[in-house]
Amino acid sequence: MASSLTTLAEIISAGIRDIESTYHNAGITPPSLDEPSHPASPAPPTPLDNNPSLDQQKRLVIAAAAQLIASIQTPVDVLKESVGSLYTAATLGFVIDIKLADVLNASGSKGLHVDEIAAITNVDASHLARVLRYLATRHIFRELSPDVFTNNRISALLASYQPLEVVNKNKLARFDAAPSAAHTSHYADEGLKIATFFSSYLQTHKTHTEYPNEYPNEYPLPFNQAFNTPDNFYEWYEHPQNEWRARRFAAAMNGNGKRFAGDIISDGINITSLNPGDVVVDVGGGVGSATLALYKQNPHLRYVVQDLDAQISAAKKFWDEHCPDAIRDQSVRLQVHSFFDPQPIPSAAIYFLRIVTHNWPDTDVRNIMSQLKAGAGRASKLVIFDVLAHHTCRSPSLSWDQPHASSSSSVPYPLLGNLGIAGAGIDTIVDMHMLALFNGKERTEADFKKLGEETGWKLESVRPGCWLRWFIRVLEHLIELWCYFVYLTGLCL
């Protein structure tokens, strides 16, 4: 029997052959780490961007490569590289702060010497060289010759995609066209600060699995401790001094949403099964971007977008700009509502929550689901689009209802059941971030099943969304779950 190392190498070799063949047959050159070195704008989409077979091969290769490295590298080196990755976040935050990717884009393919970069950024050249060498060692940026650097395929995403003079004049708008830079900057800023309180929080609150509302004068969460505030994350963003952070976060989340085709939502809801005039309620829907996509495809239905006052105020502007007729003829209604309060739209055909539940601990999610259950009719369906957490061990197959879906039982030996960083790397990062920000969590199928049982919803089936993202359907009424975070992303969710 071949060793696990040989098997991992074979998975990589076979996967690479399939990937190259797929690109060749499509007439597309496989991506190169060195290109584009200075894109004028984000890379345009290709016919292979949403190819499930290609995505699966990539995931297998990534999973096998990561496991092979972990197997061959000494345990000491694995631990050192893992804990030292805090400097990856720190250096990425730094190069975004000084707009280094924008500076290198302006220089063209020849790159810039650190002395030239220093003159532009007003940062010590030796510090720049060390930071860039650290990142280039990890394939972020490219060193063309000693101390001469340029962007590569990865670092190019840290640019603002706006002229430098515009970026320098308007801090608020800096990330509007750069979701990847916005996401990276958010983690390097709020994320790094919050993480320093992670261990002490878990140890101090080890007996409090729910949000400790009985201690209103304490700042229990890592987020509250890091920024010395009693406000929750979103309230804190409303402070005038945090306007730029809020706008950066919005850019990151907007970018996540754009990575998914509009029919993801309609397919998840099974919207073709609805009758003309049926009501679809977007609970906690923000400005209603998901509802807009649904309305454009299915104008014969009626829609309600529900959220707090600030979001609904923004939603009015959003719909005035994108689809005012839908508001005028009341095909779409915008309603101020907290999902912790009784549901004001009874017996809707569909209630859906998109990237909501992972922000909240179980107590609050039970409240949300109970309020929806109380308002639901016998034919109502609840659809939740969110991340579904997966175990690293082999687990029984889920009740997939799409032919191309797979579970950990079909993952080839010796890969982890969730494909490791290739399948759950981003999701597990988001899980830790939700814990630190909100005491929220990414939930397993068993977690959702339990929540459903406690609130009167029955888990009916599980469906995959995009990439290694998932829906869960819960119903008599029904729940569908989608891993929205992305590749970053995924999108996932």
pTM for the full predicted model = 0.86
Residue 174 inside a domain? The answer is no
Q: Is the pLDDT of residue 83 over 60?
A: yes
pLDDT at 480 over 50: no
Domain assignment present for residue 490? The answer is no
**Is 239 in the same domain as 374?**
no
CATH number at residue 92: 1.10.10.10
Q: Do residues 38 and 151 make contact, with C-beta atoms less than 8 angstroms apart?
A: yes
Please indicate, yes or no, whether residues 202 and 238 belong to a single structural domain of this protein. Answer: yes
Domain range for 43 is: 4-80
Same domain, 370 and 418: yes
| Mean pLDDT (the chain, rounded) | 85
Please indicate, yes or no, whether residues 276 and 238 belong to a single structural domain of this protein.
no
State the CATH number of the domain containing residue 442. 3.40.50.150
Residue whose tokens read 């993480």: 195
Verify that 353 and 421 share a domain, yes or no.
Answer: yes
Considering the domain architecture, whether residues 273 and 252 belong to the same structural domain is answered as no
pLDDT band at 168 (very low <50, low <70, confident <90, very high): confident
Q: pLDDT tier at 170 (50, 70, 90 boundaries)? A: confident
Q: Encode pLDDT of 43-72 as tens digits.
A: 566 777 778 889 899 999 999 999 999 999
The pair of structure tokens assigned to 324 is 């005012």
Among candidate residues 14, 49, 80, the one where a domain is terminated? 80
Same domain, 157 and 193: no
Residues 312 and 418 in one domain: yes
Residue 361 domain flag:
yes
**450 and 324 housed in the same domain:** yes
- For residue 470, pLDDT over 50 is answered with no
In this structure, the answer to whether residues 269 and 252 fall within a common structural domain is no
Higher pLDDT, 289 or 103: 103
| 488 inside domain | no
Residue 425 in tokens: 């790397």
Confidence of residue 206 (pLDDT cuts 50, 70, 90): low
**pLDDT in the model for residue 322:** 94
Determine the Cα–Cα distance for residues 28 and 7; give it in Å rounded to an integer: 29
Percent of the chain with pLDDT over 70: 84
> pLDDT tens digit string along 98-152?
999 999 998 888 999 999 999 999 999 999 999 999 999 999 999 999 999 999 9
Domain end among 30, 49, 80 = 80
Residue predicted with more confidence, 473 or 255: 255
What's the mean pLDDT in 87-99? 98
Residue position matching structure tokens 């004028």: 40
**Residue 345, domain member (yes or no):** yes
Spatial distance between the Cα atoms of 465 and 463, rounded to a whole number of angstroms: 7
pLDDT of 483 over the 50 cut: no
Indicate the residue among 169, 190, 212 that finishes a domain.
169
pLDDT of residue 41: 55
Establish if 347 belongs to a structural domain.
yes
- What percent helix, strand, coil does the chain show, rounded to 5? 50, 10, 40
Would you state the pLDDT for residue 383? Answer: 86
Nearest Cα to 175, choosing from 192, 164, 162? Answer: 162
pLDDT(398) > 80:
no
Q: Domains in the chain: how many in total? A: 4
Can you tell me which residue has the tokens 């079909």?
410
**Position 159 pLDDT exceeds 60:** yes
Same domain (yes/no): 265, 252: no
113 lies in some domain? yes
pLDDT of residue 123: 98
Does residue 89 sit within a domain? Answer: yes
Same domain for 271 and 381?
yes
pLDDT at 261 over 70: no
Q: d(Cα 4, Cα 6) in Å, to the nearest integer?
A: 5
Confidence of residue 460 (pLDDT cuts 50, 70, 90): confident
Q: Which token pair is 293?
A: 């996509």
